Amino acid sequence: MTRQNYIFTSESVSEGHPDKVCDRISDAVLDALIAEEPEARVACETFATTNRVVIGGEVGLADQDKLQDYMASIEDIARACIKDIGYEQDKFHHETVEVTNLLHEQSAHIAQGVDASNEKDEGAGDQGIMFGYATDETPELMPAPILYAHKILKRLAEVRKDGTEPTLRPDAKSQLSLRYENGLPVEVTQLVLSTQHADEGQTSAHIREIVEPYIREVLPEGWLTDKTEWWVNPTGKFVIGGPDGDAGLTGRKIIVDTYGGAAPHGGGAFSGKDPTKVDRSAAYAARYLAKNVVAAGLAGKCSIQLSYAIGISKPLSIYADTYGTGKVDEAEIEAAVAKVMDLTPRGIRSHLALNKPIYQRTAAYGHFGRAPDEDGGFSWENTDLVEALKAAI
């Protein structure tokens, strides 16, 4: 059995964090291209620093001659993302930041391994291992520390953007240490919140006075106690933020994006990658399967590992771990998930309807634990495989 009594910590970062600015731009570029051509191949990376955004990577379209037509809109996409996030600083402003677009066409050698042909099915876009995870400790079937670290920052972004808290600024980080008792989270032992602010005269005490009501609103009743230690803007001032304060890069927050360190990670980032890249789509599929295993009552916790090779359509291996909470043997779960879902790249994209412009919304506050959207966003959070899994078992 897994440990039942312990303290576990996870962190989150806001949409205004430099790395998340880059994730947002990369996913916005992806959405724009998929909206025009659902089968578009995109691997978009973004770098941001003081007064500068650089976008690079590869794009594959059925008609490569159209690529140049789309290139003119890339700068506008980046500026729109920065504006929506809320950056209007002297040294990082959506109107004045310099945007350099270095996107170019996809390598033909990569394309020949991925593309379907008369001889073979569509292959994976790269080799690698991907993990999905679910736990019954929250209704969202997510680990509580990362789930609530996200919720805190999302709430603060809402009140910043609607004008309720006009002195808050976009860059922020949160961190929660939760004490578990009998396997369930019961108390916040340490709470860290650092948020950029507008007024040089605002102290840590001033910022805590602003943010504490929203934190208490978000966290479950009873989790904050007299023993909880608060660390709000522990360095003091946090006026210079975003890419002006620290450079950002796509794909550097892979633990924030997934399970906050509570589960294994294969190492591949998500943002800016179209769904033929199994770094993204297979990680979504693995979460979908793990969540359905837990929702079906087959285990209290479950991780699913999938592995792929570039150009090969079927997964090389499937591995399940229920951490001693399983109601059935892990080998039965491995066999069942292979029966209920086609885990080829094309099968994943078809089952989860991933060839849609649904990715920009994933760039902050986690790719998992979110409610499915009516237009197909976060489709991997559905629990519509429960009965099929039970039947397969």
Task: Specify binding-site residues.
Answer: 17, 19, 45, 58, 106, 171-173, 237-238, 246, 252-253, 269, 273, 277
Does 321 participate in catalysis according to the annotation?
no
- As annotated, the binding site for ATP includes 17, 171-173, 237-238, 246, 252-253, 269, 273
Annotated catalytic residue 154: no
User: Of 24, 41, 253, 291, which residue is the catalytic one?
Assistant: 253
Distance of alpha carbon 353 from the chain centroid? 18
Q: Which residue type sits at 250?
A: T
Sequence ranges of the binding site for Mg(2+) = 19
Catalytic residue of the set 80, 111, 247, 388? 247
Residue 238 is a catalytic residue: yes
Active-site entry in 36, 37, 39, 58? 58
Annotated binding-site residue numbers for L-methionine: 58, 106, 246, 277
Does residue 45 carry a catalytic annotation? yes
Out of 246, 330, 332, 342, the active site residue is 246
Instruction: Based on the residue annotation, tell me whether 66 is a catalytic residue of this protein.
Output: no
* 17 has catalytic annotation: yes
User: Among candidates 240, 342, 242, 248, which has minimal Cα distance to 289?
Assistant: 342
252 in active site: yes
Q: Is 330 in the active site?
A: no
Q: Is 58 a catalytic residue?
A: yes
Q: What are the helix (H) ranges across the chain? A: 18-36, 67-71, 74-85, 108-114, 144-161, 204-218, 254-257, 278-295, 330-340, 345-352, 386-392
C-beta atoms surrounding 389 within 10 Å: 22
Which parts are annotated binding residues for K(+)?
Answer: 45
Residue 270 annotated in active site: no
Q: Is 327 a catalytic residue?
A: no
Give the Cα separation of 9 and 258 in Å (integer): 14
**Which residue among the candidates 41, 150, 160, 173 is catalytic per the annotation?**
173
CA distances in angstroms from 150 to 50, 147, 282, listed in the order given: 26, 5, 23
Active-site residue, from 27, 45, 244, 321: 45
Residue of 126, 165, 279, 321 marked catalytic? 279
Catalytic, 206? Answer no
Would you call 301 a catalytic residue per the annotation? no
Cα distance between the two ends of the chain: 22
Secondary structure of residue 33 in the 3-state scheme: helix
Name the catalytic one among 11, 19, 27, 274.
19
Catalytic residue selected from 8, 11, 15, 20: 20
Q: Which of 238, 270, 368, 378 is catalytic?
A: 238
Tokens of 221: 């009743």
Question: Contact at 8 Å (CB) between 60 and 106?
Answer: yes
- Catalytic status, residue 227: no
Hey, which residues are catalytic here? 17, 19-20, 45, 58, 173, 238, 246-247, 252-253, 273, 277, 279
